[in-house]
Copies of this chain bind each other. A is one copy, B any other.
Amino acid sequence: MEKKKVESILVFGDATVGNPDLRYVVGASLARGGIYLKRKSHDPTLIVSNIDVGSARLGRVRSIRTYSDYGLERLSGRYDRDEARARFYERIIRDTGASGPIVLAGRNETSNSLLLIDSLRKKGIKVVGEKTPTILEVARETKETGEIEKLREMGKKTSKVVERTIRFLSKATPRGTKVTFKSKPLTVHTVKRVINGLLAEEGIIAPEDTIFAPGRKSSDPHYDGKAADTIRTGEPIVFDIFPSEPDGYWHDCTRTYAFSSPQKKVKEMYDAVLEAQTSALDMVREQVPCSEMMIRVCKLFEKKGYPTARLLAKGNKEARVRGFMHGLGHGVGLTIGERPYLSLYGKERLRKNSVVTIEPGLYDPKVGGVRIEDIVVVGSPSENLTHLPKELQI
The contact sample of 19 A-B pairs, CB cut-off 8 A, is A12-B110, A17-B208, A50-B320, A51-B220, A104-B111, A105-B111, A110-B110, A112-B134, A113-B113, A113-B114, A114-B114, A114-B128, A118-B129, A196-B200, A197-B197, A197-B200, A200-B200, A205-B205, A208-B246
Assess whether A81 is interfacial by the CB under 8 Å rule. Answer: yes
Least CB distance, A102 to chain B, in whole angstroms:
10
Give how many A residues have a beta carbon under 8 Å from the other chain's beta carbons: 54
A203 / chain B contacts, CB cutoff of 8 Å: 192-193, 196
Assess whether A389 is interfacial by the CB under 8 Å rule. Answer: no
**Residue from A81, A192, A196, A220 having most chain B Cβ neighbours under 10 A:** A196
Q: How distant is the Cα of A132 from the Cα of B118 in the complex, in angstroms?
A: 15
Partner of A114, one of B12, B127, B193, B206: B127
Q: How distant is the Cα of A208 from the Cα of B132 in the complex, in angstroms?
A: 29
Copies of this polypeptide in the complex: 2
Interface of A is mostly: mixed
A12 / chain B contacts, CB cutoff of 8 Å: 110
Q: Which residues of A contact B (CB under 8 A)?
A: 12, 17-18, 21, 31, 50-51, 76, 80-82, 103-119, 127-132, 134, 192-193, 196-197, 199-201, 203, 205-209, 220, 222, 246-247, 320, 345
Q: How distant is the Cα of A190 from the Cα of B206 in the complex, in angstroms?
A: 20
Q: How distant is the Cα of A369 from the Cα of B132 in the complex, in angstroms?
A: 46
**Residue from A82, A111, A116 having most chain B Cβ neighbours under 10 A:** A111
Least CB distance, A316 to chain B, in whole angstroms:
14
A119 / chain B contacts, CB cutoff of 8 Å: 129
